[in-house]
Structure 1
């Protein structure tokens, strides 16, 4: 349970990290100043010890430019302005100050030849400073990582919990792991609560979907079975020719209704792993679809040409494939103009192609356009497209100048 919000914790963590680094750098600079000061004093004492008992001073004053050391005389005669000057080759520092006697400026010369460190010592000091700076940098980076990790720990915990959830098989344990009470009442808690509610809605939807498909599968198929049995009994009776035609229409309507029910149940089910890996042949399904819908060509002078270039087999859902083929065959038979054949069905090794002629507006067919359902195409082709997308097949439609070509590739 966190008492502060995520933004507050991140701000506090950032401020803490900056404060610690500032203190560390402050101590580092203070230590560098003290070391430099001690080093200068130590060099001065070493020089005095070497010249003892003749204690010489590094600071000397000159009232006359002619008394300056030889390298400075020419420079002093140019009447330099008051200030401090450094002469690196001679290792001299010179201060030009006004004379107390009202004469020309005086000069204070500081000889640092015996005080400044040698070049080798400079490299050592540079190395020490580089190591110190690198150490402080690594310390700051490590401290920042630790502090920020602690600040965003609840976010990382929530991400790990969500990543471990199997959305295909939600359980009560998953709901307990994502419970918003575990993450407090800050921003992370709000996000966890939203995810928790979403998972609850998904679980409820999946439960309703399973209940509906299980119930519908039984309740909708039972009347179809009863009607089919009644038709079989009627066929055994002495019927007139008109009655037989009526019975035949009822039988076809019953088959269409059964196909429609199976089609929508197939789309409604979330998954059906038992049938998704079944191996089946394409040619028998295509032949059955043609024979089942051949009555749609009664009264039309249309030929059906089947080009069996191969005898392919597919590993997948046979019922879904049969529904897709039946839709394509039915559409082709229903919307082919009288005398405008043939309807060509081509079975290839990896594709099924159905080509037919249709009305003049067929080039505007769009499987995803719901408005096209008024022409008898939209609903069937939309279902075919959804079935193919679910089962990993590729559905395509091409229409131009009244000719329609549909295909399913696997």
Structure 2
């Protein structure tokens, strides 16, 4: 994963690198030009001076040889042997030589040689001092590069603060809106520039989002009212009918199924409304919900699915568990988990075990693949095996409810035998 840095930091670094790079490029160009120009001037001057000395020696044979720039040495073809051995075979031109001076220090010289009409003139120019000056110039230029780089960094800090101040102010205003829960127009407080255009776009987005949230809130309220009313009528009617003395056992059983289905629908509506609002609500009057009791009610409501199946459902309470959540939320989660276990298990046993801080649903069905355990909680994913019909939304709803209340829900295959284990860990 790439690291994410603040825009201000990137601006400062970019400005500093630009200033440093530009200064370094300028310093390199200045040193290169200085070296080339100096070398050409020195070579040209030495060669001209050697030519002038040669001409003076030809025109005034008895006059000692001199130099307009430097003192040099004049030899003829007969006296050339007196010259240093390393000079005697040099051609016309300027040569770089390295010799020791009187103090024994090795120095760098430029030697101009000119041969004409039997006369050889030598002019030696000490460039060691020039090299010392060049080193001092390089040190000065490097210091200037770092100084300008530091100045660019300081200037980058100042400019970034000034340039990004409107962006920081916009971010602060947005954070204040999140705290107060009320959005106010942003664009009037900013200039008509890029930041103002961004603020205007945020205002338009906020208006659309507010309208959408308001429509969702109204829809949730309408659904809550319109669905709960007929369900309440169904519940009250079945309750009255069950009090009739002339009911047969078959009719009484059917009325109980209608009552359970009505209660499940009411619980599901309440859970879905909580999810749509992302609202975490506890039980009324500060009461806690007994996990075992809810699990027992869910098991009873799922018994009609076990008809014509050699299947047993068992509830084991090893340790009572109470949670601070509505019974309807837990009932919806357990209905999906226990209902799936009963649906996919053709024969054998489904065990619901309550212990410690969790509840587990253990079945003897075909089981699941380890790599599919997490994928089954995705929306639209259905399990493989018997009874694999449905929209694949049940486990996705369970995951969202558990995330809302901070619970951990998971599925895993049983070890050493067929079947799967679904568990909810309460925190």
TM-score scaled to structure 2, two decimals? 0.65
Give unmatched runs, 5+ long, in structure 2.
1-10, 39-67, 102-106
Q: In the aligned structure 2, how far is the partner of 1:167 from the partner of 1:223? A: 43
Which residue is equivalent to 1:46?
none
> Do the aligned partners of 1:59 and 1:111 also contact (CA within 8 Å) in 2?
no
Which residue is equivalent to 1:408?
424
Q: Are positions 1:345 and 2:355 aligned together?
A: no
> Do the aligned partners of 1:17 and 1:147 also contact (CA within 8 Å) in 2?
no
SS of 1:76's equivalent? coil
Q: Are positions 1:260 and 2:271 aligned together?
A: no
- How far off its partner does 1:238 sit? 3.3
Which residue is equivalent to 2:223?
216
SS of 2:239's equivalent? helix
SS of 1:225's equivalent? helix
Which residue is equivalent to 2:8?
none
Q: 1:371 to 1:88 in 2, by over 3 A?
A: closer
Kindly report the root-mean-square deviation, in angstroms, between the aligned alpha carbons of the 2 structures.
Answer: 5.0
Q: In the aligned structure 1, how far is the partner of 2:227 from the partner of 2:242? A: 24
Match of 2:85 among 42, 51, 74: 74
Q: In the aligned structure 2, how far is the partner of 1:322 from the partner of 1:134? A: 75
> Do the aligned partners of 1:367 and 1:385 also contact (CA within 8 Å) in 2?
yes
SS of 1:85's equivalent? strand
Q: In the aligned structure 1, how far is the partner of 2:182 from the partner of 2:367? A: 56
- How far off its partner does 1:259 sit? 2.3
Which residue is equivalent to 2:113?
96
Match of 2:397 among 383, 393, 397: 383
> Do the aligned partners of 1:356 and 1:405 also contact (CA within 8 Å) in 2?
yes
Match of 2:213 among 189, 203, 206: 206
TM-score scaled to structure 1, two decimals? 0.67
> Do the aligned partners of 2:170 and 2:199 also contact (CA within 8 Å) in 1?
no
Q: In the aligned structure 2, how far is the partner of 1:317 from the partner of 1:236? A: 29
Which residue is equivalent to 2:298?
289
SS of 1:354's equivalent? strand
SS of 1:77's equivalent? coil
Q: In the aligned structure 1, how far is the partner of 2:181 from the partner of 2:409? A: 39
User: What does 1:1-400 align with in structure 2 at a 5 Å threshold?
Assistant: 21=23, 58-64=70-76, 72-78=83-89, 80-89=90-99, 90=101, 92-99=109-116, 102-104=117-119, 106-110=120-124, 112=126, 117=129, 122=132, 126=135, 129-143=138-152, 146=155, 150=159, 157-158=166-167, 161-162=170-171, 165-166=174-175, 169=178, 175-177=184-186, 179=187, 182=190, 184=192, 186=194, 194-241=201-248, 243-272=251-280, 280-297=289-306, 302-314=311-323, 319-337=328-346, 340-358=347-365, 366-368=376-378, 370=380, 372=382, 375-376=389-390, 378-398=392-412
Q: 1:66-104: CA deviations, max 9, x gaps?
A: 76796x4323332x11111244324554211243xx224
- How far off its partner does 1:189 sit? 6.0
Aligned residues: 364
